[in-house]
Structure 1
């Protein structure tokens, strides 16, 4: 039976705007589901039920109904400071922090008329591709509770996949939107660097971080991107709720494009990357469907370069500034502790070398991608990893993450947009996806390609059986 939470976010917003559903009713529906089933999933670290209902009543009574996300429930990633709400950053070192001021992305979502139901789970400081923080229970994919949901936006993805939220905003510094979207059977969109002003990436080390969206359908992520992307370096201009450029691209789904197909990765020079049969099968589904639609497909590989040694320096350096000192370092988890120690031991010269090399790499990637409208890769090299699979040895843990997610971090380095699409299910029913990488500012092409595949494969109506 089709229930309210089985509908896409676009469909739910339409019900709100037509008056067939109220923000309070929609909020109550999701709060009831969170209370009933999230204990098995670990999607939320903190649920703010009373505040959510108060907000829903105020939005229903006072907010302009034309606000981009009028009355839509969502969760806030626990890396984002939220005034008056516990914000742990996934760490025991901050598990009792209640900020006085919200981050800009939180304010932007409130201004769009949304209703926050609480904080979604994230690994410690968002530094890993799995969500098993010691602050809360492990975050599990609802397709198989023995398997992890990926990270760092693991809680956000699980909440959407299990029908605890209609969609979710998220952030991505090395794959943190795309990895959990792939592991939970969803669409995940990381925009171009600078697309979203409240999370432009320009202030993060090497410009890695971008704010984007996780949803059940391509239209859902387009809708959410419209809500958070105002004027940007790409001169798109401010959207309106029903005519935003990204939802519009998804609705139209037009165009025929040239697509490069890449199975090699930038990590091949430093790691033994092995592509599972399940990942290969997902890629085959995507290429078969794209060819049937009429798109051009060409095999492609990036020039081999020592990418891994320079990216690792940046990841370690990004952890060096975590404000934890002395005895409080003992509160950090093994991976974080290793990254912090390695980062603080780096010299300024080595950091400058890595930054300069990656800046050149960005230009080289964009130049090599130039013949294509988009480049297609597997989303992940393996099926979702079991809870507890990752080593407590920091260096081995980092290598495991690379082996699981070899096609994500270089997209952040290059500042390119990318979308993950859940094109396939394994014989055991696990979701497997592919990634499409676009040109700078090329979200419209990715959304158009995504919705063309969605119309044929209809993944937006797939739901984990027990949820």
Structure 2
């Protein structure tokens, strides 16, 4: 008999809807499993009382049509929930309790979800790995010597251990795609503006959006639909991007069909960070891309090549040091909104302190120039990618990183090492495009390696259709389930 934690989210939803399983049974099973199995340190807080209250309410409801009715999830530790810890993995905020609930948590509650607790993140989500002085390191399940990726590393480690069927994350430079690929999972970063609750609209730089991590393409689509807010009584933000009208507009429907023939380009010619970093693409990352190309061609897709536009020039905006300068200034612009007094910055870890302190020198003119440069770069990237339905890159340039690989005592060096590990992810945030991480390859040592498919604005359905086709050919979902078993 299949154990509850081995079931996918859609399978669980069907059983809950048919009353063959109760939400309480599911919550109790996973709460017990979190306590017993979480060797990777995915969770930083568990609220069994709240979870069981929500589960009992779901079981008592006559209407079970809510999009994730009774399904368990967990808040990323950066997502506030009233009455829950709100330290954001920072010693500066240690002991803080949230007074309000973040819109991402509210929309998942409205969708019928049952929250079990909070998953680990680095301080303020600034790192592409998950470690903090408050909670320690979150590791790749089964490999305690390796990082799980970040900043949504706790979410990915929870799904990979069978503690959750899926999990929401947030992504400002790769923070969903990096841990998903590292942990052998699927990760979807939607288009800027697609998620009403947190889509990059109305924030400095427009980089961060909520998204989904799951074992399968179908489950990632289901959670993304829930994040979009396809539930009664939820009014999308007026600036939210609307998807093209096709069928019922459901990403889940597109993923379940998994149909179509598409034009996919392999990214060539380097990365946006090449002017400041000696980027090396590991042979295992190349093998992941090659395996994807072979599968795409077997399905009859057209495969070609495309290069990024020049990333080091001024693009008509003098005073900006190309892509590295523009992205870093926009990142600093977001960090400048954290209201920490100067005399308390010693409580920050070196990475956060470096980002926040260097933001002090960012002028309004400098931030405006960075945004203008980013806007022009976005226009050029979209023009280059326009002939293609999707663009293929490695998800990470290197294999999962050892715990001691990042120089955590030097914030600037730490940031540089993150660029070396993941040079293909951040430009997708800067341009606002959707991207899907898929765990298509395993090294000889059994480590997951993934690829990234980048789509046109609002075309998550195309990415999910391609991903579902690849999933039929490459058994990554079964690999995760097999690892969960004794």
- Tell me whether 1:381 sits opposite 2:370 in the alignment: no
CA distance in structure 2 between the aligned counterparts of 1:466 and 1:30, rounded to whole angstroms: 13
- Match of residue 144 from structure 2: 145
CA distance in structure 2 between the aligned counterparts of 1:431 and 1:289, rounded to whole angstroms: 17
Residue aligned with 2:101, SS? coil
Would the aligned equivalents of 2:195 and 2:240 in 1 still touch at CA under 8 Å?
no
Counterpart of 2:300 (choices 289, 294, 297) is 294
Would the aligned equivalents of 2:214 and 2:220 in 1 still touch at CA under 8 Å?
yes
Counterpart of 2:277 (choices 271, 276, 280) is 271
- Match of residue 332 from structure 2: 316
- Match of residue 10 from structure 2: 10
Residue aligned with 1:98, SS? coil
Mapping for residues 61-100 of structure 1, pairs under 5 Å: 61-62=60-61, 64-100=63-99
CA distance in structure 1 between the aligned counterparts of 2:293 and 2:114, rounded to whole angstroms: 39
Alpha carbon RMSD of aligned pairs, Å? 1.7
- Tell me whether 1:457 sits opposite 2:463 in the alignment: no
- Tell me whether 1:56 sits opposite 2:60 in the alignment: no
Would the aligned equivalents of 2:306 and 2:384 in 1 still touch at CA under 8 Å?
no
Would the aligned equivalents of 1:223 and 1:244 in 2 still touch at CA under 8 Å?
no
CA distance in structure 1 between the aligned counterparts of 2:89 and 2:391, rounded to whole angstroms: 33
- Match of residue 442 from structure 1: 459
Structure 1 gap segments, 5+ residues each: none
Structure 2 gap segments, 5+ residues each: 230-235, 313-322
Give CA deviations for 1:103-158 in whole Å, capped at 9, x if unaligned. 11111010001011001111100111010011113100104111001111010000
CA distance in structure 2 between the aligned counterparts of 1:375 and 1:49, rounded to whole angstroms: 42
Would the aligned equivalents of 1:184 and 1:431 in 2 still touch at CA under 8 Å?
yes
Residue aligned with 2:197, SS? helix
Question: 1:233: how far off?
Answer: 4.2
Residue aligned with 1:199, SS? coil
- Match of residue 398 from structure 1: 415
The structure-2 alpha-carbon separation of the partners of 1:3 and 1:62, relative to structure 1 and needing over 3 Å to count, comes to: closer
CA distance in structure 2 between the aligned counterparts of 1:290 and 1:102, rounded to whole angstroms: 42
Question: 1:87: how far off?
Answer: 1.8
Give CA deviations for 1:241-268 in whole Å, capped at 9, x if unaligned. xx66100011101110100101421112
CA distance in structure 2 between the aligned counterparts of 1:342 and 1:131, rounded to whole angstroms: 22
Residue aligned with 2:144, SS? coil
- Match of residue 32 from structure 2: 32
CA distance in structure 2 between the aligned counterparts of 1:442 and 1:196, rounded to whole angstroms: 13
Mapping for residues 230-249 of structure 1, pairs under 5 Å: 230=229, 231=236, 233-236=240-243, 245-249=250-254
CA distance in structure 2 between the aligned counterparts of 1:196 and 1:89, rounded to whole angstroms: 22
CA distance in structure 2 between the aligned counterparts of 1:95 and 1:154, rounded to whole angstroms: 20
Would the aligned equivalents of 2:243 and 2:458 in 1 still touch at CA under 8 Å?
no
Mapping for residues 113-128 of structure 1, pairs under 5 Å: 113-128=112-127
- Match of residue 256 from structure 2: 251
Would the aligned equivalents of 1:143 and 1:430 in 2 still touch at CA under 8 Å?
no
CA distance in structure 2 between the aligned counterparts of 1:423 and 1:12, rounded to whole angstroms: 25
Question: 1:4: how far off?
Answer: 2.1
Would the aligned equivalents of 2:33 and 2:163 in 1 still touch at CA under 8 Å?
yes
- Tell me whether 1:163 sits opposite 2:162 in the alignment: yes
- Match of residue 315 from structure 2: none
- Match of residue 366 from structure 1: 382
CA distance in structure 1 between the aligned counterparts of 2:442 and 2:415, rounded to whole angstroms: 27
Would the aligned equivalents of 2:244 and 2:458 in 1 still touch at CA under 8 Å?
no
Would the aligned equivalents of 1:227 and 1:239 in 2 still touch at CA under 8 Å?
no
CA distance in structure 1 between the aligned counterparts of 2:129 and 2:95, rounded to whole angstroms: 23
The structure-2 alpha-carbon separation of the partners of 1:428 and 1:135, relative to structure 1 and needing over 3 Å to count, comes to: same
Question: 1:202: how far off?
Answer: 1.0
Would the aligned equivalents of 1:8 and 1:460 in 2 still touch at CA under 8 Å?
no
- Match of residue 179 from structure 1: 178
- Match of residue 130 from structure 2: 131
TM-score, normalising length from structure 2? 0.93
CA distance in structure 1 between the aligned counterparts of 2:246 and 2:303, rounded to whole angstroms: 33
Residue aligned with 1:146, SS? strand
Give CA deviations for 1:148-185 in whole Å, capped at 9, x if unaligned. 01111010000001101010011111111000001100
Question: 1:63: how far off?
Answer: 6.4
CA distance in structure 2 between the aligned counterparts of 1:135 and 1:52, rounded to whole angstroms: 24
Question: 1:316: how far off?
Answer: 2.0
CA distance in structure 2 between the aligned counterparts of 1:351 and 1:235, rounded to whole angstroms: 29
- Match of residue 261 from structure 1: 266
TM-score, normalising length from structure 1? 0.96
- Tell me whether 1:281 sits opposite 2:266 in the alignment: no
